[in-house]
Amino acid sequence: MAAVLLIPVVSSTTQKVSLTIELKTNAPSSLGVEKMVKEKAVNYHKVRRVCALSGVIASAAILAVVSAFPIARAQNKPADALAIPAGTILPIRLNNSLSTSKSHPGQIITARIMQDVPLANGGKIREGSKVIGHVVNVSSPEDAKTEQISLQFDKVVSSGRTIPIKTTLRAVAGFVEVREAEIPTDGPTSMPIAATQVGGDTAYTSGGDVVNRNGADVGKSVTDGVLVQVGANSRQGRDCRGAVDSNTSPAAMWVFSSDACGTYGLSNIRIAHAGRTEPLGVIVLTSEKGQLKLPSDAGMLLRVQE
């Protein structure tokens, strides 16, 4: 005749498991029975520990494999996908005002990208992205007629990425000119059909054509601005180039004309140095009639250099 002894054991998953041990009636002694029970329990827990350890190792291996995929994708991503091609136009609106009386070297400048910017490498800089720069120098001598501010734009923050840049300044317009260009006025008052861009182009609404002052088509209107072929122009003693480094992709010019060049609506301000030559990327604005003041909400066309 045999007796059955049930020993409850609680597993790691909180489910109750019973360990069954048969006790023969002819067991040699109670001490022998106790020894058998202990051996069975110890062996059971050893099996549990081995299974648990195997599970941990397997989970770690799976996690390592899964984690490696984003890294591999990032390593395989073309390097130029994280860069802005040379010649790209960045249309921005300044968040800060600049003046020779209040600005100082090292002051941070921020601006907003005002239109989606398609890139020649297939990427895009989204409208609303941030451009960050700084004031390089401020010159306001008491015995001189000319005052000037030097500034530089350093990076674009877009879609969680920070992209270093070095730019030149193609054009800058006061906020009044920017505001007027943003509001279509040509056509019936109840349904305007076109707006006059800063620089003289006409942009027809609802995806219509953009034509220059000579009546030639130069691009198309889009929801937040225009996409046009950049034209060369000479104005205010400056030469503004057309396509740069074979980058002939349509440029996002926002409220500016295809050949916009120099300053607009800022009678006292001139671009003394656009940043194309040494010091590269440093933009110098001057005023020969008293204090230099560039208001916030002024619009700019920056052009990315190599």
Are 191 and 243 in a shared domain?
yes
Count: domains in the chain: 2
Are 60 and 94 in a shared domain?
no
Query: In this model, does residue 135 exceed pLDDT 50?
Result: yes
Are 185 and 268 in a shared domain?
yes
pLDDT of residue 227: 97
Q: What is the rounded distance in angstroms from the CA atom of residue 289 to the CA atom of residue 270? A: 11
Mean pLDDT, residues 116-145 taken together: 90
* Structure tokens that stand for 132 in this block: 């960050």
| 171 bridge partner residues | 262, 301
Are 159 and 286 in a shared domain?
yes
End-to-end CA distance of the chain: 94
Are 99 and 67 in a shared domain?
no
Q: What is the rounded distance in angstroms from the CA atom of residue 111 to the CA atom of residue 119? A: 19
pLDDT of residue 291: 87
* Structure tokens that stand for 63 in this block: 């996690």
Query: In this model, does residue 243 exceed pLDDT 50?
Result: yes
Q: What is the rounded distance in angstroms from the CA atom of residue 298 to the CA atom of residue 295? A: 6
pLDDT digits over 158-204, tens only? 999 999 999 999 999 999 999 999 988 877 766 678 999 999 999 99
Are 99 and 225 in a shared domain?
yes
Q: Which of 251, 209, 215, 203 is nearest to 231 (CA)?
A: 251
Domain range enclosing 198: 82-304
Q: What is the rounded distance in angstroms from the CA atom of residue 206 to the CA atom of residue 221? A: 7
Are 86 and 145 in a shared domain?
yes
Cβ burial, residue 295 (10 Å; 0-12/13-18/19+): middle
Report helix, strand or coil for 159: coil
Q: What is the rounded distance in angstroms from the CA atom of residue 306 to the CA atom of residue 301? A: 17
Judge whether 219 and 201 are in contact, CB under 8 Å: no
pLDDT of residue 46: 55
pLDDT of residue 39: 61
Are 166 and 25 in a shared domain?
no
Query: In this model, does residue 117 exceed pLDDT 50?
Result: yes
* Structure tokens that stand for 38 in this block: 């202990």
Are 111 and 150 in a shared domain?
yes
pLDDT digits over 217-239, tens only? 999 999 999 999 999 999 998 89
DSSP 207: T
Are 59 and 86 in a shared domain?
no
The whole-chain average pLDDT of the chain stands at 81
Please identify which residue in the block is written with the tokens 């609802």: 206
Are 204 and 294 in a shared domain?
yes
Are 227 and 275 in a shared domain?
yes
Last residue of a domain, one of 30, 49, 77: 77
Last residue of a domain, one of 45, 77, 109: 77
- pLDDT classification of 25: cutoffs 50, 70, 90: very low
This prediction has a pTM of 0.73
Judge whether 184 and 196 are in contact, CB under 8 Å: no
Last residue of a domain, one of 58, 77, 96: 77
